Structure 1
Amino acid sequence: MTGLFQRIDTVFVPTRNIEQALEWYMNILGGTPGWKSEKGEYQCVKFQDTSITLFLTSEAKYFEPRRSAFNFYVSNAEEAYEYLLSHGVKVEEVKEYGAKYFAFYDLDGNCLEVCEY
Structure 2
Amino acid sequence: MSEKMIERIDAVFLPVSNLEETLAWYQEVFGFEQVWRNEKMVGLYIGNNVGFHLVQVSGWDPDDRYTPINFAVKDADDVRQQLIDKGVKVSEWRQGQPKRFDFWDHAGNTISLIEL
Same fold (TM over 0.5): yes
- Residue aligning to 2:106: 107
Q: How many residues align?
A: 114
Structure 1 stretches of 4+ with a deviation exceeding 4 A read none
- Structure 1 residues 2, 66: closer, same or farther in 2, change over 3 A? farther
Structure 1 stretch 40-49 or stretch 91-100: which is displaced more? 91-100
Q: Which TM-score applies when normalising by structure 2?
A: 0.87
Residue number in structure 2 paired with 1:64? 63
Identical aligned residues as a percent:
29
1:3 Cα offset (Å): 3.8
Contact preservation (8 Å) 1:43, 1:55: yes
Question: Which region of structure 1 is more displaced relative to structure 2, 18-27 or 75-84?
Answer: 18-27
**Is there any run of 5+ residues in structure 1 with no aligned partner, and where?**
none
Where do 5+ consecutive residues of structure 2 fail to align? none
State the partner residue of 2:91: 92
Shift of 1:4: 3.0
Provide TM-score, normalisation by structure 1.
0.87
